[in-house]
Amino acid sequence: MINKKTGNTPRVPSSRFNIDAHFHVDNERPGSFNVLGGYFLNSSLKEFDPGLFGITPIEAMWMDPQQRKLLEVVYECFENGGVSMESIAGSKTACFVASFTADFQQMGNNSGSFDMCQILTLI
């Protein structure tokens, strides 16, 4: 933002999915997108430290990757703002966020069995 750049990728990377198979100008068409690009994370979904958040590795394995990334982003927001976790521990400090999709769950229901860390989600 400082350099007036954007994180927007003009076209969905082919490593994610074939956007041409899903693109349609009418967004009301089921299973379609009316945009060609978006914002994509380059890091692996395996890169998560559950101990930092008091979560067991087994619990983290079953979490939606969006939830894991959300925890990291909220932590980074406080960290980048110069607010230590120690300084807000026990205080009435909160961060309200939400996720609006169930992509990970739907993909799991459609594929039968899968390696949860291999599924790439749009965020």
**Looking at residue 50, what is its pLDDT?**
92
- Whether residue 62 is found in the same domain as residue 116: yes
Q: Looking at the DSSP assignment, which residues form a beta bridge with residue 39?
A: 8
Q: Exposed, middle or buried by CB within 10 Å (0-12, 13-18, 19+), for 65?
A: buried
- Whether residue 7 is found in the same domain as residue 60: no
pLDDT digits (tens, 9 = 90+) for 39-75: 777 777 778 899 999 999 999 988 888 888 888 888 8
- What's the structural domain count of the chain? 2
- Whether residue 92 is found in the same domain as residue 109: yes
- Whether residue 62 is found in the same domain as residue 97: yes
- Whether residue 64 is found in the same domain as residue 81: yes
| pTM value surpassing 0.85 | no
User: CB under 8 Å to 59, separation ≥6 — which residues?
Assistant: 50
Residue-range definition of the domain harbouring residue 51: 43-123
- Whether residue 95 is found in the same domain as residue 48: yes
- Whether residue 27 is found in the same domain as residue 64: no
Tokens of 27: 């967004």
